[in-house]
Every structure is written in C-alpha cells, then in structure tokens.
Structure 1
C-alpha cells in the first residue's frame, strides 16, 4: 500500500458519491479544507476522523483498506441486497458464480445492461 492510498481512496469514494471536498469536510464537522489536506497528502486523518469517514460512506475500515475492492460503495450496496436473500438463494447464486464461465457471465451482464437501458 503506498502512502497516498488513504487520500486516493477518499477521493474515489467522494467522487462516486458526488460530494465535494469542501462539503464532505463540513459534513464531518471539520474546516473547509480538511478533506483537501488529506487527499493531497498533507495530513492523515485521526482514527476518530477516519472512522467518521467510513461511517459517512457506510463502509467498514476493512472495506476501506481492501485494495482489491475497487468499488467499495457498489460492494456495500450489493452486500445489503444479498443480506435480504434466503440461504437457499444465496447458495444458488454462489453456485452460479463458481460454475459459470466468465464469458457467459459477461454476456448475461451485457444483456441485463441493455434490458435496463430499454426498460428503465
């Protein structure tokens, strides 16, 4: 993990959420340039502020630091939807993901994307 990870991750989360550095700073109860200072690498957040940032975005600290999770807000939303499914449906979904060929999944997702655009 490089030293710019925290600032870059906050920037990504902020951009995905459509919130400015200034607005996020204010929502966290900080000075107008607080998030800018973190994003630019000038400072690191305190542990309390870091936890407040995670709470604001609705993610856990482990999700924040998981470098393999490139879309933490999307993963959060998907996880929330999965939590409402019964165990048998979760098991079926797991089986599909384990056995499906990547190109078949890609075709399915492309179909669903076109369907959503035409019917959404």
Structure 2
C-alpha cells in the first residue's frame, strides 16, 4: 500500500466531512498543522492515531482502504453483532431483513 494513498484518502474523507485541516488537527488534539504534515508527505500517523483518524472521519479501517464499498459505523456495529450470533439466529435475521425489504415494494 502506497503512502500517497493514505494521504489522499485522508484528504478526500476530510473534504467529504467538510472540515478544514486545521480544525481536524485541533479536534484530534494536535497542533494546527498536524493533518497538513500528513497530507503533504512530511509525516504519517501512528497506528493508534490512524484508528483515531478513522473514528473521527466516521469510517472503519476496512472502509478506509476499500473505496468501492462504504460501510457506516452503524452497519459495522451490526456486523460486529453478527459475528457473535449462531448460524440459526443469523438465518432468522436474514429472513426478517428479507421480509422488511419485500414490505417496501
């Protein structure tokens, strides 16, 4: 994975959120130039800072690297619950979701 991808992705997600580099830097608890130093190529965030940046931008780390399919934090929370469920319960939930989708038609 290229470092430039990370820089560009942070910039695009920040712009989508309509937040300036300065505001994002301050909101993350850093100096006013923190995000600018990342996007300009002078620095890269640590892993813990990267996770915090993802949370701030409202994306999961998986979504950060997968531009094709977007997963909201709410959807990710549902997915996390699914991992704890039995196959039988998941099948019931799928049936419920299909029923709800068919009711919308």
What range describes the TM-score normalised by the shorter chain of this pair? Answer: 0.5 to 0.7
Candidates 91, 98, 101, aligned match of 2:98: 91
**RMSD of Structure 2 on Structure 1 (CA):** 2.8
> 2-side partners of 1:41 and 1:93: how far apart?
47
Matches within 5 A, 1:15-34: 15-34=15-34
List structure 1 runs of 4+ shifted beyond 2 angstroms. Answer: 77-80, 86-95
Query: What TM-score results when the alignment is normalised by the length of structure 2?
Result: 0.67
Q: Structure 2 regions of 5+ residues with no counterpart?
A: 80-92
- The total of aligned residue pairs comes to 88
User: Residue 14 of structure 2 contacts residue 20 of structure 2 at CA under 8 Å; is this kept in 1?
Assistant: yes
Q: Structure 1 regions of 5+ residues with no counterpart?
A: 96-120
Query: What TM-score results when the alignment is normalised by the length of structure 1?
Result: 0.60
1:79 Cα shift? 3.4
The answer to whether 1:47 aligns with 2:47 is: yes
